Amino acid sequence: MSPNPTIASILETDAFTKHLGMFTHPKGAHLTERTRPLGAWLEQRIEYGTWPYSRSLETSPATEARLTSSNGAIVEGVNFGSQDYLGLASHDSIQEAAIRALADFGPHSAASAILQGNSNLSRSLEAALAEHMQTEHVLLFPTGWAAGFGAIVGLVRPNDHVVLDQNSHACLMQGARAATDKHVFFRHNDVADARRKLSKIRAKDTDNAILVVTEGIFSMDSDSPDIFALQETCREFNAVLLVDVAHDLGASGPRGTGQLGLQGMLGKVDLVMGAFSKTFSSNGGFLATQDASVRHFVSIYGGSHAFSNALSPVQSGVVREALRIVRSPEGESLRARSLSNIRQLRAAFEADGLECYGQPSPIVPVGVGDERLAKLTARALEANGLIANMVEYPAVARGRARFRFQVMATHTPEQIDTAAGIFRRSLAEARAHLNE
């Protein structure tokens, strides 16, 4: 291949024709040698500018940012790739909370939460979060991933069943797979299908437990289940419901209570887990429950709580302060700005004839469809100065590639116009290349 290949010449290469799913189950007796086909494919994608992942920040991840791409190119422009939905990471009082915690405790969390990893900041966070969630108990984890995985492996045993929405996050799917072979999926947001799966399980097994898993807002589709209907269905079949509120808690709903608040289900769902890595400008996660013994059980048997170093005091202090803002009138006005930005962006895409999936939330998934078109668009976005994340198979269904715009309350109307304009131009350039 020449040093500067034309787009036409690379369109038939593996970088464009193969997908990640083809490398997941490599054959061969040597564990590490068989990783090479994936490595070669990935290197080719990096070389051709079609691997818009694993970039590194050169500036803070604000509404404008500069990153170094995996192939060394600098990407600079409006940033719709940060999960800081209310823009709290740059808020003065959040930064002060981080500095205060650093001065008081230093940067280290000493140990896992079961040893010396708790602090008065983490205890205060647990209490405030329990009040926010209207639950009696909260258990903290070092990440949102650890919370989802840990809650499932902590509670579910090999004879039990897990029934998951087919679009559940990887931490939930991998938790279910690690806990039991008896895991099945129901059609996305389809309560009737969940009911069928539960009925089938209970027809044969009334001795073992069932966990049903869904999310408040799905991060690839920006849509929500009917949580009341799912919870009622679970009760009917002696099953327990777990809702992952990573993307909606804090960012929507009255006082930032997310979909549970919006659907009148606050404090009424069996188990709720979430992540601080979106609206709460930190890392970390939690499990909320009304039952002290559930908290004890998961704290002992959910490996990621007991055997991973705890949330650091800086993280606890930051999340505690973020929660204060989320619940305050300032939080309401940030959510109002966020919603206005979301509506503006969705309207701009729709005016261009593009489809935005789901309902208004800080995630605006805009459909592109064909994976080759998406990869060419990603290349063009980098060159044209727009940072937004591409999502492709197998993260979403075949032929349903999309770009995920993550909107912040701190984006200006001008930045939203700029983003929509760059996306329009980049997609047109990509289409022209495909038709060459």
What residues make contact with ligand PLP under the rule CB under 6 A?
143-145, 148, 169, 171, 215, 219, 244, 246-247, 275, 277, 283, 285
Strands 74-79 and 137-141: unpaired
Q: How far is the CB of 431 from ligand PLP (least distance, A)?
A: 30
Q: Which is nearer to ligand PLP, 244 or 429 (CB)?
A: 244
Q: Which helix (H) or strand (E) holds 37?
A: helix 36-47
Q: Which is nearer to ligand PLP, 10 or 139 (CB)?
A: 139
Q: Which is nearer to ligand PLP, 109 or 143 (CB)?
A: 143
Residues ≥6 apart with Cβ < 8 Å to 19? 371, 392, 393, 394
Residue 355: DSSP 8-state = P
Q: Which is nearer to ligand PLP, 144 or 256 (CB)?
A: 144
If 0-12 CB within 10 Å is exposed, 13-18 middle and 19+ buried, where does residue 318 land? buried
CA torsion sign for 139, 141, 147, 153 is: negative
CA distance 145 to 161: 21
Strands 285-289 and 271-275: antiparallel
Q: How far is the CB of 214 from ligand PLP (least distance, A)?
A: 10
Q: How far is the CB of 72 from ligand PLP (least distance, A)?
A: 26
Q: How far is the CB of 16 from ligand PLP (least distance, A)?
A: 27
If 0-12 CB within 10 Å is exposed, 13-18 middle and 19+ buried, where does residue 383 land? middle
Q: Which pair of tokens denotes residue 88? A: 């709290």
Q: How far is the CB of 142 from ligand PLP (least distance, A)?
A: 9
Residue 194: DSSP 8-state = H
Q: How far is the CB of 404 from ligand PLP (least distance, A)?
A: 11
Q: Which is nearer to ligand PLP, 348 or 363 (CB)?
A: 363
Contact assessment for residue 188 and residue 167, using Cβ atoms and an 8 Å cutoff: yes
Q: Which is nearer to ligand PLP, 165 or 429 (CB)?
A: 165
Q: How far is the CB of 167 from ligand PLP (least distance, A)?
A: 10
Q: How far is the CB of 83 from ligand PLP (least distance, A)?
A: 7
Q: How far is the CB of 385 from ligand PLP (least distance, A)?
A: 25
Q: Which is nearer to ligand PLP, 81 or 285 (CB)?
A: 285
The residue nearest ligand PLP at its CB is 144
Contact assessment for residue 297 and residue 289, using Cβ atoms and an 8 Å cutoff: no
Residue 6: DSSP 8-state = -
Strand partners of residue 164: 185, 213
CA distance 275 to 284: 6
Q: Which is nearer to ligand PLP, 171 or 354 (CB)?
A: 171
CA distance 193 to 238: 17
CA distance 315 to 105: 11
Radius of gyration of the chain (CA): 22
Q: Which is nearer to ligand PLP, 101 or 272 (CB)?
A: 272
